[in-house]
Homo-oligomer: A and B are copies of this chain.
Amino acid sequence: MYELISVDDHIIEPPSVWVDRLPAKYKDIGPHVIDDGTREWWVYEDKRVDTMGLNAVAGKPFEEWNMDPVRFTDMIQGCWDPKQRAKDMEMDGVVGTVCFPTLPRFAGTLFLDFQDKELADLSVKAYNDWLIDEWCAAAPDLYIPMAITQLWDPEKAAAEVRRMAARGARCITFPETPAPLGLPSFFTDHWDPVFQACEETGLVINMHIGTSGSLASPAPDAPFHVLIMLAQASASIGMVGMLESPVLRKFPDLQMVFSEGGLGWIPALLERCDRMWERHRMWSGLDDLRPSDLFKRNVYGAFVDDQVGLELRHRVGVDRILWESDFPHVESVWPHSQEIAKRVAKDLPEDEVRKVFAENARKLYNWPAKVDAKVAVA
């Protein structure tokens, strides 16, 4: 059995996350779940939002997938229950998992929209505390804690990075490009406090496609599956933006993961970036940092099931490849991860198999090996 560490899974938050933690004055307008008789809703401030069946398709046959909202009881328990999730992961051979939030959106961008910024701030902290105290505590060897931040205030966000690093977080989730959210881009110095805090604490930055609220698309009326097919375009937009921004020049030790984009397009992208860098740097004042060298220094790609990507692994860099399960979303191959992993890695030597499925992630997130931990106890 392969040992698998997934750098991209998704928590469906149970209704108690904020209700249990926000002060009494926010009980009515803090995030909570209501049932109107026909379905369940998340309610906060003056808004209500549904959840989508696509967010929780794990264990369902393809024929039953749909975009309809669901009740918690329509999902398998592992979507929202960390103890059950741990069992689901164990049966699939997954020994470590980085989980993105759902209601807060991938990097907590939901709280940008909150009118009451004190509530927003407390809601960010409530999620992070719940994550450590309940989600991760349910299986502390399995869950690699990932924090969200206050995206409307880089100083507050930097303080939260430090607070959560002290609480054991290994990474934060952040928009792959903030501009589509109406926030300053990575070509400004606006985000320096956050990046500085990450560099100081060693926290990794996980960039999931779509966190910016923008997915590559040819037209507003394009069917949703077109946007899903274009994941590599979405990931590459964030990646090239980051590679060519001042961020990696000012904070050379930062480590970033681009989730759910796959790998197979990265060699062609880096070849092109290097070629354009050769041709344009003299007139446009680019520095001496070759894009492919920056990639190898600061960036990781991730895959679920990517034959071309693993064939090209030496061009990507075997040390820069991570695996993801995407449980319980549409990309996930759960509970068949072992079978798929063995198929896509059939031509890899054993040391490379260990790296791409677990060791690279262990090193990146400074995450003790479960096996080692047992050995140490014995």
Contact = CB atoms under 8 A, between A and B. Distances in A.
A162 interface: no
A276 B227 CA distance: 10
A348 interface: no
Interface stretch (A15-23, A303-311, A349-357, A370-378): A303-311
A166 B282 CA distance: 46
A236 interface: yes
A284 B305 CA distance: 21
A263 B268 contact: yes
A186 B216 contact: no
Contact of A271 (B63, B236, B275, B307): B307
A242 to B, nearest CB: 8
A49 interface: no
Contact of A308 (B66, B226, B312): B312
A267 interface: yes
Most buried by B among A187, A225, A284: A225
Nearest to A176: B218
Interface residues of A, number: 65
Contacts of A315: 308
Interface string A315-343: 10000000000000010000000000000
A269 interface: yes
A209 to B, nearest CB: 12
Contact of A244 (B186, B220, B222, B263): B222
Contacts of A91: none
Interface string A213-245: 000111111111110111111001110111010
A47 interface: no
A261 to B, nearest CB: 9
A25 interface: no
B262 A268 contact: yes
B219 A272 contact: no
Contacts of A308: 267-268, 271, 312, 315
Interface of A: 62-66, 176-179, 185-188, 216-226, 228-233, 236-238, 240-242, 244, 262-265, 267-269, 271-273, 275-277, 279-280, 282-284, 286, 291, 305-309, 312, 315, 330
